[in-house]
Structure 1
């Protein structure tokens, strides 16, 4: 399968990025269904994909964050499945970067070696992106994982290497979308730092857990970064909910 170019602005030699072979069973265990166009469980992510593609085409969206007000509401689940669904679009490349530096979870979702190098090592100057990134099988998805490190995350994100990373994200070609799995807003100030470098963000909430006040404060704290949409996870009224018990409601520009 041929892959659209990542334009060598984010990776030095994108064609030589190592491949991470992930089995269907491994993806199933982590509820990663976005690669499966014919699977009914992927339906919410295909609907969300269509909305994001429209913003890419109409507004030139290149760098999209995925965040939440508080932890454990499914933001990494949404980020991984959205990236997977978008990677199935012909002539489009997707790069998923885990910048939830305190609690990185993308690597677990996609079955990375837990002893590998991560984005923290890149920001600290101990590795390069090409050493850390992996292409997921034969998909058009490249992932830059993170692993737990005892690091000063805010300092890393605002360091020269952090600034360089954000600049390179925006230098990718028009056929590439960068998705950033961000920290929750109320964890620390990392999400506010990252938001300054985004073209927009998705806000993930959980039905019965996330409050309206948390949502309002999140939008205020991330301003002026544009809110591209909201995703309601575990919607109790069973709209777009499958046998695994998760579902989504879309409220682009509003809250549900």
Structure 2
């Protein structure tokens, strides 16, 4: 992982691996079954299967991926918790995006949320805001559910009605919900601004990670990124062109706190093992 400070923008480069997986139904143990019976918003994640597919879990032990995300989350958490003159507006709202599809942004968003959930005094809400092509629930092995779009479309529907609790104690999930042809306008609406303000301020110990659409493909990403305190842009190693990266960064140049994740790398100069590198 590389960290460089240029003006007000911080860039963080991280090498991680991505795995393509096939998903099936989860198998809940007795404790999870009881929890689900008493709470209709409770969902059981098959952590063993996620770990087998290379995803980060609390039971996964020490791995290169776990170490990658321990490093990448530190500056994000530090800025989210900043106070006084260094406080960032909506600093606890972190959006994960990319220039183009297929660069691994959902993989990074889910693993970042999982890593943050391991903190002792923080809860994390993982929001699937890629409303045109939602994939967070698929990655986690869950079926589609009502979520963000439903709350924006129905004033009578509370966010608490669609947030899912999980068997990861500090992890909550807000699905994308139903698709809508006016998704860009909904994400740029006053209702969305009010929702983000509520999410950012209601729980002081909560970090919110948004999986966003790609910047160069959809207009929804711009409506969303502009309202976030911190931006994480995923760059696919040896695939994403320099032009695409520069154009994506140009489109979000008004954002002061931008981090880069260098994803799908198989080696990093200066390291003896597969994983990450850190440079000042």
What is the TM-score with the length of structure 2 in the denominator?
0.74
Call closer, same or farther: CA 1:162–1:204 in 2, change over 3 Å: same
Instruction: Work out whether residues 236 and 263 of structure 2, in 8 Å CA contact, stay in contact via their aligned partners in 1.
Output: yes
Larger radius of gyration between Structure 1 and Structure 2 = 2
- How many residue pairs were aligned? 232
Instruction: Work out whether residues 150 and 178 of structure 2, in 8 Å CA contact, stay in contact via their aligned partners in 1.
Output: no
**Residue 111 of structure 1 aligns to a residue in which SS?**
coil
- Which digits, 9 at most, give the CA deviation of each residue in 1:50-75, with x for residues without a partner? 23222223354211110000001100
The partner residue of 1:117 within 131, 140, 146 is 146
Call closer, same or farther: CA 1:118–1:249 in 2, change over 3 Å: farther
**Residue 103 of structure 1 aligns to a residue in which SS?**
coil
Call closer, same or farther: CA 1:34–1:28 in 2, change over 3 Å: closer
Distance 2:136 2:279 in 1: 25
Q: Which residue of 2 aligns with 1:11?
A: none
Q: Which residue of 2 aligns with 1:12?
A: none
Call closer, same or farther: CA 1:89–1:160 in 2, change over 3 Å: same
Q: Which residue of 1 aligns with 2:174?
A: 144
Q: Which residue of 1 aligns with 2:18?
A: none
Instruction: Work out whether residues 51 and 60 of structure 2, in 8 Å CA contact, stay in contact via their aligned partners in 1.
Output: no
1:200 aligned to 2:230? Answer: yes
Structure 2: segments with no counterpart, 5+ residues: 1-38
RCO higher in 1 or 2 (8 Å CA, sep ≥ 6)?
2
Distance 1:96 1:28 in 2: 18
Structure 1: segments with no counterpart, 5+ residues: 1-15
Distance 1:240 1:106 in 2: 33
Q: Which residue of 1 aligns with 2:93?
A: 63
State the Cα distance separating 1:128 from its structure 2 match. 2.8
Q: Which residue of 2 aligns with 1:48?
A: 72
What is the TM-score with the length of structure 1 in the denominator?
0.81
Call closer, same or farther: CA 1:17–1:143 in 2, change over 3 Å: farther
CA RMSD of aligned residues (A): 2.5
Instruction: Work out whether residues 149 and 180 of structure 2, in 8 Å CA contact, stay in contact via their aligned partners in 1.
Output: no
Call closer, same or farther: CA 1:190–1:130 in 2, change over 3 Å: same
Instruction: Work out whether residues 47 and 57 of structure 2, in 8 Å CA contact, stay in contact via their aligned partners in 1.
Output: no
Call closer, same or farther: CA 1:38–1:30 in 2, change over 3 Å: closer
Q: Which residue of 1 aligns with 2:184?
A: 154
Instruction: Work out whether residues 96 and 180 of structure 1, in 8 Å CA contact, stay in contact via their aligned partners in 2.
Output: yes
Distance 1:240 1:151 in 2: 49
Distance 1:227 1:178 in 2: 15
Q: Which residue of 2 aligns with 1:31?
A: 54
